[in-house]
Amino acid sequence: MTEKIRTASRHISRDEGLIFEKSSPGKRAFDLPPLDVPETDAAKALGGKYRAEGVTDFPEVSEIEVLRHFTRLSTWNYAIDLGMYPLGSCTMKYNPRVNELVARLEGIATEHPFQPQSLSQGCLKIMQMLERCLLEITGMDSITLQPAAGAQGELTGLLLIRAYLEQQGNARKKVLIPDSAHGTNPATAVIAGYEVENIKSDAQGQVDVDKLRELVTEDVAALMVTNPSTLGIFEQRIADIAEILHARGALLYMDGANMNALAGVARPGDFGVDVMHLNLHKTFSTPHGGGGPGAGPVAMKKFLAPFRPVPVLVEKSNGELALESDRPQSIGRLKAFCGNFGVLVRALAYILAYGPGVRQSTEDAVLNANYIRKHLEGAFTLPYALPSMHEVVFSDAQQKTKGVNTMDIAKRLIDYGFHPYTTAFPLIVPGALMIEPTESESKEECDLFIEAMRAIAEEAAQEPDLLQHAPHSTRIGRLDEVTAARKPRLRWVRGGSGAAS
Amino acid sequence: MRYLPKSPAERSEMLAAIGVESIEELFSSIPEKFRLREALNLPGPLSEAEIIEYFKQRAKESAAGYASFLGAGVYNHLRSVVTDTIIQRGEFLTSYTPYQAEISQGTLQAIFEFQTLMCQLTGQEVANASMWDGSTATTEAVLMAERITRRRRVLVARSVHPEYREVLATYARNSGLTVEEVPFAADGTIDQVAIGTALGDDVAALVVQSPNFFGAIESVGVLAELAHSRGALLVTAVAEGVSLGLVRPPAEADIVAMEGQSFGLAPSYGGPFVGVIATHEKFVRQMPGRLAGQANDWNGRRGFVLTLAAREQHIRREKATSNICTNQALCALAATVHLTLLGKEGLREMAQQNLSKAHFALTELEKIPGVRRAFESPFFNEFTIALPRPVESLNQQLLREKIIGPLALDAFYPELPDHALVCVTETTTRDQIEKFVSEVRMAVALAGDRR
């Protein structure tokens, strides 16, 4: 390890038990204003449905204890705010704080979805503006902001396809999915009532177009393609792919998880995509928040618009905006109310900050990925040589010979102060290291990452044991996941194990 | 651009290091004809001040300053600034799903605490973290019941939130499930006689909501017995979680699908909220969504880790229990902090205030000639009234007084014209209730005169 490389060091990290273990009867952290009406006798009002004893073992702590408890817990997390978070396919970019502020404004955060639409014009204008921006970025004709996340966006897209094909007389049976796809794609196709047929990628890691031509029969409803693929490579024959599908009456669905490689540079609507989803929590910077919330708007060509989920945002002749639910051709409702509105607000704030400059952000994301690729080639095996866009995928082939795998490298990266890249995905690359720096990383941060990765490659050759037992700098080491799954303990129980059988 | 950390010189240096002349070259894999030549037609770029100004303008075109009697699945409750302070910490806000347990213990332990709180509230043994909202949680609970029972018919109470039922219909359409509605009885709860008729050995689940959409509290224990008598599971949706501070938990239900919006989340025009599925231990492997479990590290130290991932899409792909990936983690954290702040006493007091204020409002409304309580069942903070005139026009009049009136039920229930769903929480003041009641009294009297 050279002196130059910064490694992680510990700072104050207090042990902190479960909140339930700190509880003591009679403490409280929340006061309500006094009741200003006569108190109702709950036992009488609720009869046999009265919970006389209250919630057993619910925490009883004070405000300072709550604040410290969660603040201490927070210090055990890695975060974008602390450094590079190069999770491939996750697009962990900077989350601007102004977006948090505007989503919390009175008049935005306070609005009720069933309030009169005459009092909701502000919210509806935000939705309309976001719709317009996303249509411009994707080059599509129509959009829905309803889906709660990418996976629900996928379902929406497939249901739109199904509804359209049904109208044509045959919903068809199968959805084709490349073997490099995200797991949500096949899981979603099943919920939409389709069988999944996997397509093997060709030697370049691209959709095998000849194979596709054979597979697209009258039974095929759609191909779900991620573009750029999960290898970070643009599907160069995307127009041919679209043509093959369309010639047989099938449609092209694009998983927009990797839109961070395209925004401002190329538009799916221009290269034959019929319907696609966007992950606002990836490309459009709404915070991942430890796993959500997200939002998965679905953009489509005109012929799919009649089938959009309800409610649909419409502009009335007097210029007033409204949400319409009476749409006979609609695929129905995906979630209650009108999308993850608070997430939509943040995404619009992000887009407004860039405007047409979103192209610069895409360019920087691609620049970072290629810069890292250039400096790590050789140290790690590059299984597919086509040009990378916003992410690069290596394999652990060289390190395997020393008994070190991608997970070991990832864990060691923690000791250097970085969050690991995505491990073991996509599945078509054995021992994958999937690295997506995003545009949010400076040259300095990229250089530090490169140095760390190169140092780890050295260590893998010299002291594989160091990697196999990494991380060494965290407050806990690798956890026994096998026992955790075999004898799950999924909640705290007073004096008990909390085990689930 | 203030979010981009590179100078022009650094960009040039990096391009040179890669060995390309221009950034264009890095996009050479996109066929020429698909590469945009012109800048996108987008508004902006805006400075931070301009962004704030734009949204402040939008925020003015809102219901700010109105008193509201709307609930129907989205509730106004008090929130502590502590909750927002915690969830805005970058370590929580800007972290990913905690797959790398060693550097995600904060999120993982908070999830474990969330799961525990949800079990305590619902009387169930395991709870996930999380589903998108109450409506999708209810749908996922039904799909889970289908997997457990391998049956294909589902009975859903008509008194379940109409939009929850619509979501279920969307998902059921292509999954081979048949969904049938069970009517409500004269007291607003599910019609038990109708259940008896509809139940058969092919029913996977009976789905109810409690308190239901009309505010009526269902007899979960009785319904569970009924469902179990024919081998069906009881799925109970809970849209108003604060009720669980005073109302017996749906412990007898096989699966509870809960909306957690009431636990510290702003109405936010309908989302993001947080859904939860809670169930018995024996069903855990059929559950959708993420679970954190306790585990030890190599030195025997206690930690937490995502577990039972063999159910999930990233492992099982087309055989997964659900397609859910991104969930509502930060909302679950907010609920965890909020409920911890409330604690045992605070939750109970909040629930008691809701109960008292709603009962006070009903008592006052019932004094108006022509206004009556529609259903006699016990209720928590929402109740249904029948009015002597259409609700919509009443609400138009209330708007002039800066009051957003109760939800007109006829949009969802044509069989309930002139019925309104009134919600009163601890945030509704006595003054607001009294003003609302007096406006209703006047509006009803006026309408009576005209008749």
Residue ranges of domains in chain B: 67-76+343-450, 81-338
Residue of B nearest to A471 (CA): B102
B164 has a chain A CB within 8 A of its CB: yes
* Orientation of helix B391-400 relative to helix B430-450, angle to 10°: 120
Q: What is the pLDDT of residue A36?
A: 98
Residues of chain A with CATH 3.90.1150.10: 357-483
State the fold for domain A101-356: Aspartate Aminotransferase; domain 2 (3.40.640)
- Residues in chain A with CB shorter than 8 Å from the CB of B404 are 112, 115-116, 119
- What mean pLDDT comes out for the span B172-197? 96
State the fold for domain A357-483: Aspartate Aminotransferase, domain 1 (3.90.1150)
Residue B83, amino acid:
T
- What mean pLDDT comes out for the span A17-31? 96
Q: What is the pLDDT of residue B300?
A: 92
* Orientation of helix B48-60 relative to helix A341-354, angle to 10°: 140
- What mean pLDDT comes out for the span B266-284? 98
Q: Is the dihedral of CA A191, A193, A197, A199 positive or negative?
A: negative
Q: Which residue has the tokens 């066929």?
A: B31
Residue B18 and residue A80: Cα distance in Å, rounded?
A: 26
Strand partners, A427: none
- Written as six digits, the tokens of A501 are 């059988």
- Report whether pLDDT(A4) > 90: no
Q: What is the pLDDT of residue A1?
A: 46
- Written as six digits, the tokens of A248 are 């047989």
B376 has a chain A CB within 8 A of its CB: no
Strand partners, B408: B420
Confidence of residue A2 (pLDDT cuts 50, 70, 90): very low
Confidence of residue A15 (pLDDT cuts 50, 70, 90): confident
- Report whether pLDDT(B229) > 80: yes
Task: Write down the mean pLDDT value for chain B.
Answer: 97
- Residues in chain A with CB shorter than 8 Å from the CB of B63 are 107, 110-112, 115-116, 119-120
Are B247 and A50 a contacting pair at CB < 8 A? Answer: yes
Residue of A nearest to B93 (CA): A289
Confidence of residue A163 (pLDDT cuts 50, 70, 90): very high
A461-473 pLDDT tens trace: 999 999 999 999 9
Q: Which residues contact A387 (CB under 8 A, 6 or more apart)?
A: A233, A234, A370, B26, B28, B29
Grouping H, G, I as helix, E, B as strand and the rest as coil, residue B415 is coil
- Written as six digits, the tokens of A432 are 């994958």
B47-76 pLDDT tens trace: 999 999 999 999 999 999 999 999 999 999
Q: What is the pLDDT of residue A413?
A: 97
Query: ipTM, 2 decimals?
Result: 0.98
Q: Which of A138-147, A358-367, B16-25, B438-447 has the lowest mean pLDDT?
A: B438-447
A66 has a chain B CB within 8 A of its CB: yes
Residues of chain B numbered 187-216 and touching chain A (CB < 8 Å): none
Query: For the CA atoms of A191, A194, A200, A204, what is the dihedral angle to 10 degrees?
Result: -70
A246-296 pLDDT tens trace: 999 999 999 999 999 999 999 999 999 999 999 999 999 999 999 999 999
Q: What is the pLDDT of residue B316?
A: 87
Taking the CA of residue A388 and the nearest CA in chain B, the distance in Å comes to 8
How many residues does this entry show for chain B?
Answer: 451
CA angle B380, B62, B441 (to 5 degrees): 50
- Report whether pLDDT(B128) > 80: yes
Task: Write down the mean pLDDT value for chain A.
Answer: 96
Which CATH number applies to B81-338?
3.40.640.10
User: Measured between CB atoms, which of A75, A149, A345 is closest to B91?
Assistant: A75
- What mean pLDDT comes out for the span B146-171? 98
Taking the CA of residue B421 and the nearest CA in chain A, the distance in Å comes to 12
Q: How many CB atoms lie within 10 A of CB B421?
A: 25
DSSP state of A207: B
- From the number of C-beta atoms within 10 Å of its C-beta (0-12, 13-18, 19+), residue B115 rates as buried
Alpha helix ranges (H) inside B247-374: 313-316, 329-366
- What mean pLDDT comes out for the span A75-83? 97
Q: How many CB atoms lie within 10 A of CB B62?
A: 21
- In angstroms, the Cα distances linking A75 to A14, A16, A441, B35, B92 are 9, 11, 22, 44, 9
Are A61 and B92 a contacting pair at CB < 8 A? Answer: no
- What mean pLDDT comes out for the span B358-384? 98
Residue B113, amino acid:
E
In chain A, the largest separation of any two C-alpha atoms, in whole Å, equals: 77
- What mean pLDDT comes out for the span B295-318? 92
Mutation target to probe the B interface, by most B beta carbons within 10 A, among A39, A62, A73 is A73
- From the number of C-beta atoms within 10 Å of its C-beta (0-12, 13-18, 19+), residue A450 rates as middle
Q: Which CATH superfamily is domain B67-76+343-450 in?
A: Aspartate Aminotransferase, domain 1 (3.90.1150.10)
Grouping H, G, I as helix, E, B as strand and the rest as coil, residue B409 is helix
- Report whether pLDDT(A499) > 70: no
pTM for the predicted model, two decimal places: 0.97
